[in-house]
Amino acid sequence: MNKLRPPRDSADHGWFFGYGSLVNRATHGFGGARPAQLHGWRRTWRQTDLRPAAFLTVVPAPGTVISGLLAPVPGGDWPALDAREAAYTRVCAADRIAHGLPGTPQIALYTIAEGAHGRPAQSHPVLLSYLDVVVQGYLQEFGEAGARAFFDTTDGWDTPIMDDRAAPVYPRHCALSTPERAFVDAHLTRLSAQVQQR
């Protein structure tokens, strides 16, 4: 896949596909977002020295379909979005996304280049405050079935998870309702995830 260049047509500033925290509308101000499906990719937890905690990326996985949100890039300001997604590489994914948009819009997703990330370790745990935000987004957009699918189409649940709910480290954390928190905890138990106190 080639890196996506900003569109030349001012009428179409391009779109991006979010499969993690971007699914939670409370974490951004991108208007016009809509559900979409990415074909041939799967989420996984990874680490990079560019960030202190593990985070989600997507890797090619034939036959896998994941849901997420597709949103227009306001004013075609790709640099601002690139800054938000620092440590990721922006790639063109229009041919992999089922979206229902007219024409042939430019669509990007953010992933980590092969060889630029590794498996998370004790030094790079998953932040529970981050995971909470992601799952809350899936619950709101796709219901419990869609949120369960998030867990089932994500690899790396043997990654250490740091329980920072009492003092969230993730800067875009959102408060969960009691049912939302119970949903997250139940699926982490189902997947035998290792949740550790901060």
CA 87/CA 75 separation, integer angstroms: 23
Please give the sequence-ordered ranges of beta strands (E in DSSP) within 15-96, or none if there are none.
15-18, 34-46, 55-72, 89-92
CA 133/CA 160 separation, integer angstroms: 17
Give pLDDT tens digits for 126-157.
Answer: 999 999 999 999 999 999 999 999 999 999 99
On the 0-12 / 13-18 / 19+ scale of CB atoms within 10 A, 36 is buried
Could you tell me the domains of the chain? 15-197 (3.10.490.10)
Average pLDDT, the chain: 87
Instruction: Identify whether the C-beta of residue 66 lies closer than 8 Å to the C-beta of residue 153.
Output: yes
pTM: 0.87
pLDDT value at residue 20: 94
